[in-house]
Amino acid sequence: MIDFEPKHEFLVGIDSDGCAFDTMEVKHKECFIPNIIRYYDLASVSKYAREAAEFVNLYSKWRGINRFPALLMAFDLLRERPEVQRRGVKVPTLPKVLEWTEKETKLGNPALKKAVDESGDPELKHCLEWSEAVNQTVGDVVHHVPPFPNVKECLERLAEVADILVVSATPNEALEREWTEHGLDKYIQRICGQEAGTKKETLELAKKYPKGNAIMLGDAPGDAKAAEANNVLFFPILPGQEEESWQRFHLEGISRFLDGSYAGGYEEKLFAEFDACLPDSPPWN
């Protein structure tokens, strides 16, 4: 991203899974979670493993975080369940994976493969095999999932006046396939997936634009935090109300962003609605 130069005076960052595309549920329920159960031998507690992973990745304030920290968090929640403890199931702790996530910023398969090649650690190798299996399953399963209504209309309008980036924790290969499949890639300057770094790092590009001229659209608290860290405006795509959110952005959000009336009371109202959508404690507690 060092060579990125603005072409317009506005910058728009857009998350992909669960924000522009209705792919969060299918990816986690049909691709991530079955592979968690398979690779980490959790068939005996599959119900609880599924609940933990769905809570972290879909239905909590951690929604949308990178797959590796999410895996560790799901295992932490699973380990605490009395039902799991009564069955005597040993839930993995993955200390080497934890150590790697704490020092690596580009939390993707290329960086993990490099760590595996350098260390030969079997725990990291097994985690890489799980992650590669997830990508393979996503490639096999997730097709023909269109963007939410009004996404294309918003992109068409914004592309005339703004540089648009895909800002996501998803691997670039999947992002490029999905945005190209539906003809949305022509509106985008760059696709910045997990290999490009964190969302916070990508949004540092906002420094190249006038203050107040950058906005991030996302469906997860991590998107809002990345925006806040870079003094970027945030428009929430509310989980469960995605179509209504895109309609609101199309009808009023874009105009407010471009005319300078977005920051302040309007943004605060939207964020309050967003903050109330997702809990920070699992329902079984």
List pLDDT tens digits, range 20-60.
999 999 999 999 999 999 999 999 999 999 999 999 999 99
Using CA atoms, how far apart are residues 165 and 189, in angstroms rounded to an integer?
6
pLDDT of 2 reads 63
Using CA atoms, how far apart are residues 226 and 181, in angstroms rounded to an integer?
28
Contact 10, 164 (CB under 8 A): no
List pLDDT tens digits, range 156-208.
999 999 999 999 988 898 899 999 999 999 999 999 998 888 899 999 999 99
Domain ranges for the chain, please list them: 10-23+146-275, 24-141
List pLDDT tens digits, range 50-108.
999 999 999 999 998 899 999 999 999 999 999 999 999 999 999 999 999 999 988 99
List pLDDT tens digits, range 207-241.
999 999 999 999 999 999 999 999 999 999 999 99
CA distances in angstroms from 47 to 24, 25, 44, 57, 280, listed in the order given: 19, 16, 8, 16, 20
Q: Is it the case that residue 1 has pLDDT exceeding 80?
A: no
Q: E-strand spans in the chain?
A: 10-14, 162-167, 190-192, 214-218, 233-236
pLDDT of 111 reads 94
Nearest to 23 by CA among 131, 198, 144: 144
User: For 238-250, what is the mean pLDDT?
Assistant: 96
pTM for the model stands at: 0.85
Which superfamily is assigned to 10-23+146-275 in CATH? Answer: HAD superfamily/HAD-like (3.40.50.1000)
Is the CA virtual torsion 266, 168, 104, 230 positive or negative? negative
Q: E-strand spans in 178-221?
A: 190-192, 214-218
User: For 135-142, what is the mean pLDDT?
Assistant: 94
Contact 65, 103 (CB under 8 A): no
pLDDT of 99 reads 98
Using CA atoms, how far apart are residues 145 and 170, in angstroms rounded to an integer?
16
